[in-house]
Structure 1
Amino acid sequence: MSKKNNKKSKGNKLPYLFSEGLKGLYRNKVLSAASILVLSACIVVVGLFMILTHVIENNLSVADELYVVTAYISTKAEEEKITNAFEKVKSFDNVTEVSFVSKEKALEELKAEGGDLSDVVKEYENELSSYIRARFDIRFESYDMLNALVSELERVEVIETVNTKLDLYHGISNLKKAVTAISSALILLLFVVAVFVTLNTVRIGIYYRKDEISLMRYMGATKGFITAPYIIECLFMGAVSVLIAVFCEYFLYSFVLRDWIMDYGLGTLPLFKEFLPTILPAFFAVGVLSASFSGAICVKKYLSV
């Protein structure tokens, strides 16, 4: 019988605790609104940096071409030697694919890529043909073994010069590292800001109710019963902040950032709903966790007095 009564009393407490948490939001509505807006802004900034990181890592238009080495063939090379060299290059370590581009095909590619200058290319086709060479386009797997591959290619008889995109690769790699480092530091900083703002809001709420809390403790209320409304208040603030941030991020992503990135040819991005599983954990970490964490710190500090 007593167990049933305990369950019933716990069930009756939950609506009361939730209502007290919501009353706390209304009681400090100005500070609560300020906290929610600051939290939402922090979450939106985190989301934007995560999207930027995604663009750099996965959607740069040159990313696929970074793993191609171009080996230019001597104009004096005989066809048989070129065929033998082709088979030899295919057998090298770190090579995944080799394509032979003849002099004629290279000239056609130049015409196709000429754009507005295509007419000029056609006009001076004979002159240009003397400067264009056949080549091997060699796709490789890892930059860690690129230097060894280049050394092997330079020893092939028919190959005159080898061009790589090593400088571009290092530049993009450094950019990735910089954006990742900035994103991580920003998430940490905004988490601290979110905790600080929510902490002050809850602390002021506790200060105005200190007499009521003292009376509750005097009457035998447990610490959990006293602190629960403040934790719930923080959770509500965090949850509302996440909802606002998701709406703002959806608008910025779908109608501003995505179109801008695609218009400038910087890459392609999925629809926002496909991106949600990546950014929602970070949103909840900054929003809900920071709010509940700051609430727990604040009430613990007060109850220890």
Structure 2
Amino acid sequence: MKKNNIGYLLREGVRGIFLHGFMSFAAIWVTVACLIIMGTFGLVLFNLNEMIVELEQENEMLVYIDDTYSEAEAKSVGSQINLIANVHSAQFISREEALASFVEEQQDVDLFAGLEASTFRDRFVVTLEDNSKMRQTEQDIRAIEGVADVTAHYEIAEGFQTVQQILNIASFIIIAVLLVVSMLIISNTVKLAMYDRKDEIAIMKMVGATNGFIRWPFVVEGFILGIVASALAFFLEWGLYNLLETQVAAVDSLNLITIVPFIEVVEIVAIGYAVVGFIVGVIGSLLSIRRFLQV
């Protein structure tokens, strides 16, 4: 394509935006609203997923060592536990430490003053790489010589997996619906522009203009609308996210809610908005053009 043609197509695309100023303005801000809803929902799900991962890491397995083993022998079992592929860490807890922890948790400390450490077993607190493999990991740990018993909470691990699956499905459906809505908005805006110029398009077709030559100004128009909307949505999302983060930090004195700083996800969000803006703008334009090219 010649440089003159490229310049013409770009100018026509930009001219179409200003020619239909109100509709372009409305399309941009409605698309911004859809993008912010998509982005906010995506970030909320991302943070929930991070919280679930943290909670999963707290869903630990307790591995009790044979009470005939000395402390040195019990510690040696830990090296075998760490060899299991799905084990992230294995922290040794001695009898004495287990006793001190138990007494500390009781309301009436004096009641357990005479309790001896030999009542407890040496143990390991084991965290896993993947909680979905908890049952198999338990079997592998039980097979190690010196392991007397293993406590594992399968129902908690499976509950976390169920919540993650529901969140993933819900996010896919909602984001897909909002993406379609945004494309239709851009499509209708470009369609109005084409309707106003339908006679001009018909004349261009009759004098031999190709479909591509006619199509590109409207694709440029849709692309610009989508990118401008995505840029505005990105910066508004950044501000809203930081505001929410500040508000949560102010009321959550116990740090029960963990919010990932926006700076850690800024690149992903920026790329996501740019890609969605491009898709919404270009595909929305292409969808609206087809009927008008059939002259």
Aligned to 1:11: 3
Given the alignment of the two structures, is residue 301 of structure 1 paired with residue 291 of structure 2, yes or no?
A: yes
Aligned to 2:262: 271
Q: 1:277 to 1:169 in 2, by over 3 A?
A: same
Aligned to 1:173: 161
Say which SS state the counterpart of residue 265 (structure 1) adopts: coil
Aligned to 1:55: 47
Q: 1:192 to 1:127 in 2, by over 3 A?
A: farther
- Aligned pair partner of 2:113 in 101, 126, 140: 126
Say which SS state the counterpart of residue 62 (structure 1) adopts: helix
Question: Alpha carbon RMSD of aligned pairs, Å?
Answer: 3.4
Aligned to 1:288: 278
Given the alignment of the two structures, is residue 204 of structure 1 paired with residue 196 of structure 2, yes or no?
A: no
Q: 1:18 to 1:227 in 2, by over 3 A?
A: same
Question: Contact 1:203–1:298 at 8 Å: present in 2 too?
Answer: yes
Structure 1 position 152, deviation (Å):
6.1
Given the alignment of the two structures, is residue 242 of structure 1 paired with residue 235 of structure 2, yes or no?
A: no
Distance 1:214 1:88 in 2: 83
Q: 1:268 to 1:201 in 2, by over 3 A?
A: closer
Say which SS state the counterpart of residue 124 (structure 2) adopts: strand
Question: Contact 2:231–2:273 at 8 Å: present in 1 too?
Answer: no
TM-score by length of 2: 0.79
| Higher normalized contact order (CA 8 Å, seq sep 6+, divided by chain length) | 1
Summarize deviations over 1:184-229 as a string: whole Å, max 9, x none: 2222212211121111111121111111222233343333332222
Summarize deviations over 1:152-207 as a string: whole Å, max 9, x none: 66688986653223222212212222222222222221221112111111112111
Say which SS state the counterpart of residue 280 (structure 1) adopts: helix
Aligned to 2:58: 65
Aligned partner letter, 2:179: F
Structure 1 position 18, deviation (Å):
2.8
Aligned to 1:40: 32
Q: 1:38 to 1:133 in 2, by over 3 A?
A: farther
Aligned to 1:254: 242
Question: Contact 2:56–2:131 at 8 Å: present in 1 too?
Answer: no
Say which SS state the counterpart of residue 267 (structure 1) adopts: coil
Say which SS state the counterpart of residue 260 (structure 2) adopts: coil
Structure 1 position 232, deviation (Å):
1.2
Distance 2:96 2:11 in 1: 79
Structure 1 position 246, deviation (Å):
0.4
Question: Contact 1:103–1:133 at 8 Å: present in 2 too?
Answer: yes
Identity %: 24
Distance 2:196 2:115 in 1: 83
Provide structure 2 residue ranges, at least 5 long, that are not aligned to the other structure: none
Distance 1:127 1:248 in 2: 63
Say which SS state the counterpart of residue 269 (structure 1) adopts: coil
Question: Contact 1:18–1:229 at 8 Å: present in 2 too?
Answer: yes
Aligned partner letter, 2:237: E
Structure 1 position 265, deviation (Å):
2.8
Provide structure 1 residue ranges, at least 5 long, that are not aligned to the other structure: 1-6
Between stretches 54-63 and 121-130, larger displacement belongs to 121-130
Distance 2:155 2:249 in 1: 24
Say which SS state the counterpart of residue 55 (structure 2) adopts: coil
Q: 1:295 to 1:96 in 2, by over 3 A?
A: closer
Question: Contact 1:73–1:158 at 8 Å: present in 2 too?
Answer: yes
Summarize deviations over 1:69-107 as a string: whole Å, max 9, x none: 113568xx3453x65454346425454543332344235
Distance 1:215 1:153 in 2: 79
Distance 1:154 1:11 in 2: 73
Question: Contact 1:69–1:164 at 8 Å: present in 2 too?
Answer: yes
